[in-house]
Amino acid sequence: MPDQNVPQPPEGVQPTTPQQPIYQQPAGQQQSYQQSYQQPADQQPFQQSYQQPTYQQPPQQAYQQSPQQVYQQPAGPNLAGDEELTVGNWMVTILLMCLPIVNIVMLFVWGFSDATPFAKKNWAKAQLIWMAIGIGISIIIVIITVVAGVSLSNSGTFNGYSV
């Protein structure tokens, strides 16, 4: 009786190889394939077996962590540089900026002191730069006004009257 799992050739066709399964897969094992070839009579029968390779993930390498360097902030006068400024601090700052002469002195103190927080230090330097730009523009305007006034006075007339 022929095996039910093996395909049968159509009627009238003679098989050239003995009827056997082309591949077999044992339960719970890797797949193995066998092929039989019909060789000429003067050569030995050739049979080739193929075993499917097993794929495994590469072993995980243990990465060594280098000892981490600990950063220590140098002890010095700049310990207050990382402070966070509160609303109260800014209110006092703005109040001091309303007082004449005190505002200029305090901008220099905050801008160049090591004990001032970075945010206030940079703000004070920016205020000093804007103040210098304003003074420079004011000086240029005064010079232009003086030169215009002197040139009008040398012309000999002023508001229609001769001088």
Q: List pLDDT tens digits, range 55-102.
A: 776 666 666 666 677 777 665 554 555 678 999 999 999 999 999 999
Let me know if 81 is exposed, middle or buried by CB neighbors in 10 A (0-12, 13-18, 19+).
Answer: middle
39 or 107, which is more confident?
107
Query: Rounded mean pLDDT of 102-122?
Result: 95
Q: Is the dihedral angle over the CA atoms 139, 143, 148, 154 positive or is it negative?
A: positive
54 or 142, which is more confident?
142
What is the reported pLDDT for 32? 46
Enter the tokens of residue 32: 């193995």
3-class SS at 30?
coil
User: Of 132, 121, 130, 129, which is closest to residue 93 (Cα–Cα)?
Assistant: 121
pLDDT digit string, tens, across residues 11-66: 766 655 555 555 555 555 554 445 555 555 565 555 566 666 677 766 666 666 66
Beta bridge partners of 158: 161
Enter the tokens of residue 43: 């050569």
